[in-house]
Structure 1
Amino acid sequence: MKQDMGSSQLSFFLFIFFCYNVTITTANQICPISACNATEPAIWFPFRIKDLQPETCGYPGFDLTCNNMNLTVLNITSSGGFRLQRINYFSQELYITDPDGCLPKRLLSFNLTGSPFRSESSQTFTFMGCLNQQVLSHPSYKPIGCMSNSTYDVLATPSARTVKTMSSIGCHVIGTVDVPTPSQGYYSQFSFSELNVDLKLTWDVPQCGNCEHNGGSCGFKNNSNLEVQCVDVPRQGLSKGKNYAVSIGVGVPAFLCGIGIAWFLCRRVKRTRNHNSRALHASTINPQPTVVVVGLDGPTIESYPKTVLGESRRLPQPNDNTCTICLSEYQPKETLRTIPECQHSFHVDCIDEWLRINATCPLCRTSPTGAHSP
Structure 2
Amino acid sequence: MNLNFFLTPFSPIINLFIVTFFLLAKKASCTDPYFVACNPKNCSDGQSISFPFHIQGMQPDFCGYPGFTISCNDKGKPVFNLSNSEYIIHEIYYQNQSLRVSNAAVFGKSPSCTPQIQNISLDDGRFHRSSNSKGLFLLYNCNSTLLSNNSELLNYKVDCPGRENETVWTLAMLEDDPLLGSTLDKCGTRVLAPVDVYRGENVGAERMLERGFVLNWTASNCSICEDSGGKCGFDNAAYHFKCFCPVRPHSRRCYSEGKKLRLKLGLGLGLAVGIGVLIITICCVIIRKYSSIHFLSCWRKTRGSQSIEVFLRNYGTLAPKRYSYSELKKMTKNFKEKLGQGGYGSVFKGNLLDGRLVAVKVLKKSKSNGEEFVNEVSSIGMTSHVNIVTLLGFCFEGPKRALIYEFMSNGSLDKHIYEENLSKAQPKLGWETLYQIAVGIARGLEYLHRGCNTRILHFDIKPHNILLDENFCPKISDFGLAKICPGKESIVSMLGARGTAGYIAPEVFCRNFGGVSHKSDVYSYGMLVLEMIGGRKNFRVGVDNTSEIYFPHWIYKRLEIGEELQLRGAGNEVEEENARKMILASLWCIQTDPSNRPPMSRVVDMLQGSLESLPIPPKPYLSSPPRPPHGSNSNSNS
TM-score (norm 1): 0.50
Q: Structure 1 pair 42/93, CA: closer, same or farther in 2 (3 Å)? A: same
Task: Tell me the alpha carbon deviations over residues 177-216 of structure 1, each in whole angstroms, 9 at most, x when there is no partner.
Answer: 47353xxx52762464322222211111233354346653
Given that 1:73 and 1:84 are in contact with CA atoms closer than 8 Å, whether structure 2 keeps it comes out as yes
Name the counterpart of 1:55: 61
Aligned partner of 2:126 among 116, 124, 134 = 116
Name the counterpart of 2:91: 86
Given that 1:82 and 1:96 are in contact with CA atoms closer than 8 Å, whether structure 2 keeps it comes out as yes
Name the counterpart of 1:218: 232
Name the counterpart of 2:75: 69
Q: Structure 1 pair 255/134, CA: closer, same or farther in 2 (3 Å)? A: farther
- Structure 2 stretches lacking a partner, 5+ long: 1-5, 246-252, 278-509, 515-638
Q: Which amino acid aligns with 1:125?
A: L
Given that 1:34 and 1:52 are in contact with CA atoms closer than 8 Å, whether structure 2 keeps it comes out as yes
Offset of residue 117 of structure 1: 1.4
Task: Give 1 or 2 for the bigger CA radius of gyration.
Answer: 2
Q: How does 1:174-189 map to 2 (within 5 A)?
A: 174-175=189-190, 177=192, 179=194, 181=196, 186=198, 189=201
Aligned partner of 2:177 among 145, 153, 160 = 160
Q: Which amino acid aligns with 1:193?
A: A
Task: Tell me the alpha carbon deviations over residues 321-358 of structure 1, each in whole angstroms, 9 at most, x when there is no partner.
Answer: xxxxxxxxxxxxxxxxxxxxxxxxxxxxxxxxxxxxxx
Given that 1:180 and 1:201 are in contact with CA atoms closer than 8 Å, whether structure 2 keeps it comes out as no
Given that 1:90 and 1:213 are in contact with CA atoms closer than 8 Å, whether structure 2 keeps it comes out as no
Q: Which amino acid aligns with 1:254?
A: G
Name the counterpart of 2:139: 128
SS in 2 for 1:189: coil
Counterpart Cα distance in 2 of 1:147 and 1:55: 46
Task: Tell me the alpha carbon deviations over residues 122-162 of structure 1, each in whole angstroms, 9 at most, x when there is no partner.
Answer: 32434333367864785965348999786222222235334
Counterpart Cα distance in 1 of 2:215 and 2:139: 26
Offset of residue 100 of structure 1: 3.5
Offset of residue 51 of structure 1: 2.3
Counterpart Cα distance in 1 of 2:159 and 2:102: 16
Given that 2:17 and 2:276 are in contact with CA atoms closer than 8 Å, whether structure 1 keeps it comes out as no
Q: Which amino acid aligns with 2:167?
A: T
Offset of residue 248 of structure 1: 9.0
Counterpart Cα distance in 1 of 2:237 and 2:128: 27
Given that 1:126 and 1:175 are in contact with CA atoms closer than 8 Å, whether structure 2 keeps it comes out as yes
Task: Tell me the alpha carbon deviations over residues 62-90 of structure 1, each in whole angstroms, 9 at most, x when there is no partner.
Answer: 112222333221011x2321112222222
Q: Which amino acid aligns with 1:49?
A: I
Counterpart Cα distance in 1 of 2:138 and 2:130: 22
Name the counterpart of 2:40: 33
Given that 1:132 and 1:152 are in contact with CA atoms closer than 8 Å, whether structure 2 keeps it comes out as no
Counterpart Cα distance in 1 of 2:511 and 2:225: 12
Alignment of 1:227 with 2:244, yes or no, is no
Q: Which amino acid aligns with 2:81?
A: N
Name the counterpart of 2:219: 205
Given that 2:98 and 2:214 are in contact with CA atoms closer than 8 Å, whether structure 1 keeps it comes out as yes
Offset of residue 227 of structure 1: 0.6
Given that 1:11 and 1:255 are in contact with CA atoms closer than 8 Å, whether structure 2 keeps it comes out as no
Q: Structure 1 pair 254/14, CA: closer, same or farther in 2 (3 Å)? A: farther
Name the counterpart of 1:262: none
Alignment of 1:97 with 2:102, yes or no, is yes
Given that 1:79 and 1:109 are in contact with CA atoms closer than 8 Å, whether structure 2 keeps it comes out as no
Counterpart Cα distance in 2 of 1:251 and 1:192: 71
Offset of residue 241 of structure 1: 7.3
Q: How does 1:194-343 map to 2 (within 5 A)?
A: 194=206, 195-196=208-209, 197-212=211-226, 216-220=230-234, 222-232=235-245, 239=259, 254=274
SS in 2 for 1:75: strand
Offset of residue 171 of structure 1: 5.0
TM-score (norm 2): 0.32
Name the counterpart of 1:281: none
Task: Tell me the alpha carbon deviations over residues 270-297 of structure 1, each in whole angstroms, 9 at most, x when there is no partner.
Answer: xxx79999xxxxxxxxxxxxxxxxxxxx
Q: Structure 1 pair 175/100, CA: closer, same or farther in 2 (3 Å)? A: closer
Q: Which amino acid aligns with 1:163?
A: L
Offset of residue 96 of structure 1: 1.1
Counterpart Cα distance in 1 of 2:261 and 2:222: 27
Given that 1:71 and 1:83 are in contact with CA atoms closer than 8 Å, whether structure 2 keeps it comes out as yes
Which structure carries more helix by proportion?
2
Counterpart Cα distance in 2 of 1:145 and 1:83: 28
Counterpart Cα distance in 2 of 1:55 and 1:145: 48
Given that 1:125 and 1:178 are in contact with CA atoms closer than 8 Å, whether structure 2 keeps it comes out as yes
Counterpart Cα distance in 2 of 1:213 and 1:146: 54
Q: Structure 1 pair 125/204, CA: closer, same or farther in 2 (3 Å)? A: same
Counterpart Cα distance in 2 of 1:125 and 1:85: 20
Aligned partner of 1:193 among 197, 205, 211 = 205
Name the counterpart of 1:302: none
Counterpart Cα distance in 1 of 2:27 and 2:224: 31
Q: Which amino acid aligns with 1:120?
A: S
Name the counterpart of 2:503: none
Counterpart Cα distance in 2 of 1:60 and 1:98: 22
Q: Structure 1 pair 248/118, CA: closer, same or farther in 2 (3 Å)? A: same
Given that 2:41 and 2:50 are in contact with CA atoms closer than 8 Å, whether structure 1 keeps it comes out as yes
SS in 2 for 1:206: coil
Name the counterpart of 2:369: none
SS in 1 for 2:232: strand
Identical-pair percentage: 21
SS in 1 for 2:67: coil
Name the counterpart of 1:151: 167
Offset of residue 228 of structure 1: 0.7
Offset of residue 16 of structure 1: 6.2
Higher relative contact order, structure no. (Cα contacts within 8 Å, ≥ 6 residues apart): 1
